[in-house]
Amino acid sequence: PFSFSCKTPFSAGQRKAGVDKGPIHLVEAGLVDQLTEIGWKVKFDGHHQFEEVSAADDPQIGKLRNPRLVSRVTEAVAKAVGEHVQNGELPVTLGGDHSLAMGTISGTLSKYPDACVIWVDAHADINTPETTDSGNIHGMPVSFLLGLEGTKIPEFSWIKPLLTPDRLVYIGLRDIDDGEKKILKEHNIKAFSMHEVDKYGIGKVVELALDHVNAKRDRPIHLSFDVDAMDPTVAPSTGTPVRGGLTFREGHYICEAVQETGLLVAFDLVEVNPSLADAASVQATVAVGCSLVRAALGETLL
């Protein structure tokens, strides 16, 4: 089986320097060898370099920050991921900020239009250009993928809104803007917040999540994992940490259970920012990131 590792050093979807350095820390922690050791043939084409878009050339579109740069990079990611899924490989995209998922999920949908998306995150990332406060596009990828009102802007015309609300489910939510809560309700989007994780336990939550988007377990799964879904004591070095997150085991259980379905076709691990904490905290966050990738790609405890 092939896994493909796209190391995607990208940070223009948010404002904190350093998240573009996430991928290199994950690779330098030995992730490629670790995946080889669990039986994958890893094609690692180095760290993606993207066309530069100067701030001067980046048009002012409402509050959006770096819209042209984010659009160009995510379009390039969509193409790269699309090629790899076409080749029967399993793209593992290491971010970089979560705006990358506009590219990775578009890539997956180009081959698997019926794929379902499991979005593991403290945040819903479903603001639109109209509801956003910050203009940071890493808080908006899901609204673009769904083609919500206000996301049909020429700069992002390459996005084919193939994702539908019934094929999206969240796990780990605990920091949702009012505008996002409204959107989630309006579109009946299923979300298992940390309240449900406490109430039902992670085993039941994953089962319910899969029942919702993949009742017959016959749909390909794209798992998009924002490392800030984990509790900040587990993964501290990330841009928008929120207390009360997933334990080390809960995060790994999600990856293990999705892997067990045999339906995983693409995996993202994003928002590791190695410039935000002391060396020990960075090392701990990178180690958890590598471990989550291994779990999603089949590493088992027994």
Ligand X SMILES: N/C(=N\O)NCCC[NH3+]
Which of the following is catalytic: 48, 98, 222, 252?
Answer: 98
Which of ligand X, Mn ion, none does residue 155 bind to, with CB < 5 to 8 Å depending on kind?
Answer: none
Q: What is the rounded distance in angstroms from the CA atom of residue 59 to the CA atom of residue 258?
A: 40
The three-state secondary structure class of 265 is: strand
The yes or no reply on residue 228 touching ligand X (CB under 6 A) is yes
Q: Applying CB under 6 A, which of residues 74, 240, 259, 291 lies at the interface with ligand X?
A: 240
Which of the following is catalytic: 20, 58, 75, 121?
Answer: 121
If we measure between CA atoms, which residue out of 94, 105, 101, 87 comes closest to residue 41?
Answer: 87
Question: CA separation (Å) from 207 to 45, 144, 192, 203, 263?
Answer: 35, 27, 11, 6, 14
Query: Which residues lie across from 7 on neighbouring strands?
Result: 47, 94
Find the radius of gyration of the CA atoms of the chain.
17
For the question of residue 130 being annotated catalytic, the response is no
User: For the window 76-115, what string marks contact with ligand X as x by the rule CB under 6 A?
Assistant: ----------------------x-----------------
Q: Report residue 222 CA to chain centroid gap.
A: 9
For the question of residue 138 being annotated catalytic, the response is yes
Which of ligand X, Mn ion, none does residue 20 bind to, with CB < 5 to 8 Å depending on kind?
Answer: none
Q: ∠ CA(79), CA(55), CA(268), 5° rounding?
A: 35
Query: Residue 95: CB partners within 8 Å, gap ≥ 6?
Result: 8, 10, 19, 22, 23, 268, 269, 270, 271, 272
Minimum gap (Å) between residue 229 Cβ and Mn ion = 7
Q: Which stretch binds Mn ion (CB under 5 A): 10-18, 36-44, 105-113, 116-124?
A: 116-124
If we measure between CA atoms, which residue out of 27, 85, 46 comes closest to residue 269?
Answer: 27
Number of residues that bind Mn ion (CB under 5 A): 7
Pair 71, 155: CB distance under 8 Å: yes
Minimum gap (Å) between residue 228 Cβ and ligand X = 5
Q: What is the rounded distance in angstroms from the CA atom of residue 22 to the CA atom of residue 59?
A: 27
Q: Applying CB under 5 A, which of residues 20, 121, 196, 231 lies at the interface with Mn ion?
A: 121
Q: What is the rounded distance in angstroms from the CA atom of residue 7 to the CA atom of residue 23?
A: 5
User: For the window 262-281, what string marks contact with ligand X as x by the rule CB under 6 A?
Assistant: ---------x----------
The yes or no reply on residue 71 touching ligand X (CB under 6 A) is no
Q: What is the rounded distance in angstroms from the CA atom of residue 129 to the CA atom of residue 136?
A: 9
Q: 65 or 138, CB closer to ligand X? A: 138
Which of Mn ion, ligand X, none does residue 58 bind to, with CB < 5 to 8 Å depending on kind?
Answer: none
For the question of residue 177 being annotated catalytic, the response is no
Q: Applying CB under 5 A, which of residues 125, 231, 250, 256 lies at the interface with Mn ion?
A: 125
Write the single-letter amino acid at 28.
Answer: E
Minimum gap (Å) between residue 129 Cβ and ligand X = 14
For the question of residue 121 being annotated catalytic, the response is yes
Tokens of 265: 């076709």
* Residues near Mn ion (CB under 5 A): 98, 121-123, 125, 226, 228
Catalytic residues: 98, 121, 123, 125, 138, 226, 228, 271
* Binding positions for ligand X, rule: CB under 6 A: 98, 121, 123, 125, 136, 138-139, 177, 226, 228, 239-240, 271
